[in-house]
C-alpha cells in the first residue's frame, strides 16, 4: 500500500471519528476537516513500510519483524509484490529485520525512526549468495606419466580435512572445499623422488585451485646399442664429409631424452646435440668433419633418475665408397619429385626433401633418392636395417651399378644400330 493511500485512509477515519463524536458532516476535502486538524485532532502515529527483493525481483512470503528494543512489536509477511507494512506505530526508534532467505545475502537488522503522521521506508535488497566453497585438483606424474594410487591429503593449517588417492592418469580432486588458503600434500610414490611433496593453494569461491606434483623414478636397467644406422662416414663432396651413428635402447625407452657428442681430430661446429628417442626407442646423430682419423660418438640416454651411456668408434679414411646415406621414406618429409612422374632415368626418381628429427635437421633442404624406390631397381645398393627394411643407400654400389647400366645400355644401342645397317645392306 502506498503512502498516499495510507494517508487517504487516515483522512476518512478521522472524518468518521469527528462525525461520531461531534455530529454533523465531515468532508475530508472540505475546510471543516482542516479546521479539526488545526484544533488538535492530527493523528499521533506513524508507519513503517518497505519491500523485499532478491536480485531486483520481489520476494513474497518473507517474514518481517519490527522491534522496539528487545520487544517484538509486530510481524508481517511480504505480499506477492514483496511489500510489507506496519501501521499505527507510536513515534520512536524501532528495528526491522527479515527471516533468512535460502541462497541469498540480505541486509541485517535496520534501524527505523517513526514520526507522527509520517511514513518510514525500510527496504531489503538481497542478492544471490556467492558460493563459499571451491575445488582443489591436480595431477601426480612419474617420469612424465600420470601415477595412480598416490595418497593425497588436504590440510587447513596442521589439520587434515580430507584425503584421497590419484585415479587413472594420476588425477585427484577435492570438492566443496571452504575458500581460503589450504595445503595439499602427497606421499611420494614408491621408488620415486618428487620436486615437492606439498604445496599451498588459495581456494576461490566457486572456482578451482590446482596443485600438480612431478616425480621421477629410475628406470629399470636398459642397454644402448648401435647399428640403426651402423656408425660410419660419408664423403659426399669436397668439404662435406661427416661421421654418423644410429642407436637404440633395449628394452625400448620411447620418448626418453638423449645427448649425443663426438670427439675427433676434425670436428666442425658444435659437437653435442640433444633430443628424444622415437616410438621405437631410436635416435640418430651426425657430425661434420674435415680430417681423416678416429672419431668417437657417445650416446647418453636418461630415463627418470637412470642414465646409460654407450660409445661407437668410426675410423675415417680417404677411401671413397664408405658413404651410406639414410634414405628410407620413414625419415623424410615434404618429399617433392624433381622430374615429371613419367620421367625416371634408369628407374630412379630424384627428389627434394627435409629430414625428420632426429635423423637430420628439418631446416636444411636435401636432394637425393628414396631407399624403397632404389631397392626396386638396384637392390644391391640398398642396405637394410635390423628388421630387414630398406634403410640406407650405398652410393658406391649404386654408382657402379648405374655406370654398368649406362654402358650396357649404350652397347646394346650400338649393336642394334649395326644390326639395322647390316639388314639394310
Rounded CA separation 137/199 (Å): 12
**What's the Cα-to-Cα distance from 254 to each of 228, 251, 328, 329, 363, rounded to whole Å?**
15, 9, 20, 21, 24
Unique residue bearing C-alpha cell 644401342: 413
Tell how many helices (H) and how many strands (E) occur in the chain. Answer: 4, 34
**Which residue from 15, 55, 50, 54 is spatially nearest to 35, judged by alpha carbons?**
15
In the chain, residues under CATH classification 2.60.40.10 are: 3-128, 133-216, 223-322
- Fold that domain 3-128 belongs to in CATH: Immunoglobulin-like (2.60.40)
The per-residue DSSP string of 244-306 comes to: EEEEEEES--TT-EEEEEEESTTB-S--EEEEE--TTSEEEEEEEE-S-EEEEEEEEEEETTE
Unique residue bearing C-alpha cell 611433496: 197
**What's the Cα-to-Cα distance from 218 to each of 17, 186, 192, 221, 311, rounded to whole Å?**
100, 19, 7, 9, 22
Cis bond before residue 229 (omega within 30° of 0): yes
Name the grid cell of 398.
649404386
Name the grid cell of 45.
502515529
Per-residue pLDDT of the chain (425 residues; tens, 9 = 90+): 444 445 555 555 555 555 555 555 555 445 444 444 444 445 799 999 999 999 999 999 999 999 999 999 999 999 999 999 999 999 999 999 999 998 899 999 999 999 999 999 999 999 987 778 999 999 999 988 899 999 999 999 999 999 999 999 999 999 999 999 999 999 999 888 898 999 999 999 889 999 999 998 876 788 999 976 678 887 765 556 888 888 989 888 888 899 999 999 999 999 999 988 888 888 888 888 988 899 999 999 988 778 899 999 999 887 654 556 678 898 899 999 999 988 888 889 999 999 886 567 788 898 889 999 999 999 988 888 767 888 888 777 888 888 887 777 655 554 554 444 334 33
pTM of the model: 0.38
- Partners of 202 in the beta sheet? 181
CATH of domain 223-322: 2.60.40.10
pLDDT at 396: 72
Rounded CA separation 168/181 (Å): 27
Instruction: Decide if 386 contacts 406 (C-beta within 8 A).
Output: no
Q: How many residues does the chain have?
A: 425
pLDDT at 233: 82
pLDDT at 9: 53
Instruction: Decide if 187 contacts 150 (C-beta within 8 A).
Output: yes
**What's the Cα-to-Cα distance from 384 to each of 14, 156, 376, 393, rounded to whole Å?**
116, 63, 13, 9
Instruction: Decide if 220 contacts 143 (C-beta within 8 A).
Output: no
Rounded CA separation 56/74 (Å): 26
User: What SS3 class is residue 232?
Assistant: strand
Instruction: Decide if 118 contacts 87 (C-beta within 8 A).
Output: no
Please check whether the domain covering 133-216 is classified as CATH 3.40.50.720.
Answer: no
Burial classification of residue 225, based on how many CB atoms lie within 10 Å of its CB (0-12 exposed, 13-18 middle, 19 or more buried): middle
Amino acid at each position: 500500500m502506498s503512502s498516499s493511500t495510507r494517508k487517504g485512509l487516515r483522512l476518512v477515519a478521522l472524518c468518521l471519528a469527528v462525525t461520531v463524536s461531534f455530529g454533523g458532516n465531515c468532508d475530508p476535502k472540505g475546510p471543516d476537516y482542516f479546521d479539526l486538524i488545526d484544533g488538535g485532532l492530527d493523528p499521533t502515529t506513524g508507519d513503517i513500510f518497505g519491500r523485499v527483493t532478491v536480485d531486483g525481483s520481489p520476494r513474497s512470503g518473507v517474514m518481517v519483524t519490527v522491534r522496539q528494543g528487545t520487544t517484538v512489536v509486530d510481524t508481517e509477511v511480504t505480499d506477492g509484490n514483496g511489500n510489507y507494512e506496519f501501521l499505527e506505530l507510536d513515534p520512536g526508534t524501532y528495528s526491522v529485520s527479515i527471516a533468512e532467505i535460502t541462497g541469498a545475502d540480505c541486509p541485517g537488522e535496520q534501524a527505523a525512526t517513526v514520526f507522527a503522521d509520517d511514513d518510514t521506508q525500510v527496504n531489503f535488497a538481497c542478492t544471490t549468495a556467492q558460493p563459499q566453497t571451491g575445488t582443489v585438483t591436480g595431477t601426480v606424474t612419474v617420469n612424465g606419466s600420470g601415477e595412480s594410487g598416490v595418497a593425497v591429503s588436504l590440510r587447513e593449517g596442521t589439520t587434515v580435512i580430507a584425503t584421497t588417492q590419484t585415479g587413472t592418469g594420476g588425477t585427484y580432486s577435492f570438492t566443496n572445499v571452504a575458500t581460503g588458503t589450504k595445503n595439499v600434500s602427497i606421499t611420494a610414490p614408491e621408488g620415486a623422488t618428487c620436486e615437492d611433496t606439498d604445496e599451498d593453494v588459495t581456494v576461490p569461491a566457486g572456482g578451482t585451485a590446482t596443485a600438480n606434483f612431478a616425480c621421477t623414478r629410475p628406470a629399470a636397467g636398459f642397454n644402448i646399442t648401435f647399428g640403426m644406422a651402423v656408425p660410419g662416414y660419408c664423403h659426399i663432396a669436397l668439404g662435406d664429409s661427416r661421421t654418423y651413428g644410429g642407436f637404440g635402447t633395449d628394452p625400448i625407452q620411447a620418448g626418453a631424452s638423449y645427448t649425443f657428442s663426438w670427439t675427433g681430430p676434425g670436428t666442425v661446429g658444435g659437437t653435442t646435440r640433444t633430443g628424444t628417442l622415437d616410438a621405437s626407442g631410436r635416435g640418430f646423430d651426425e657430425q661434420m668433419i674435415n680430417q681423416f682419423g678416429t672419431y668417437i660418438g657417445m650416446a647418453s640416454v636418461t630415463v627418470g633418475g637412470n642414465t646409460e651411456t654407450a660409445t661407437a668408434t668410426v675410423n675415417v679414411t680417404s677411401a671413397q665408397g664408405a658413404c651410406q646415406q639414410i634414405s628410407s621414406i620413414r625419415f623424410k618429409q615434404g618429399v617433392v619429385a624433381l622430374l615429371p612422374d613419367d620421367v625416371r632415368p634408369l628407374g630412379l626418381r630424384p627428389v627434394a626433401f627435409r629430414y625428420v628429427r632426429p635423423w637430420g635437421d628439418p631446416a636444411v633442404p636435401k636432394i637425393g633418392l628414396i631407399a624403397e624406390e632404389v631397392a626396386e631397381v638396384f637392390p644391391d645398393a640398398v642396405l637394410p636395417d635390423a628388421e630387414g627394411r630398406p634403410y640406407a643407400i650405398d652410393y658406391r654400389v649404386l654408382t657402379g651399378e648405374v655406370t654398368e647400366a649406362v654402358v650396357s645400355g649404350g652397347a646394346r644401342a650400338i649393336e642394334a644400330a649395326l644390326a639395322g645397317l647390316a639388314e639394310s645392306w
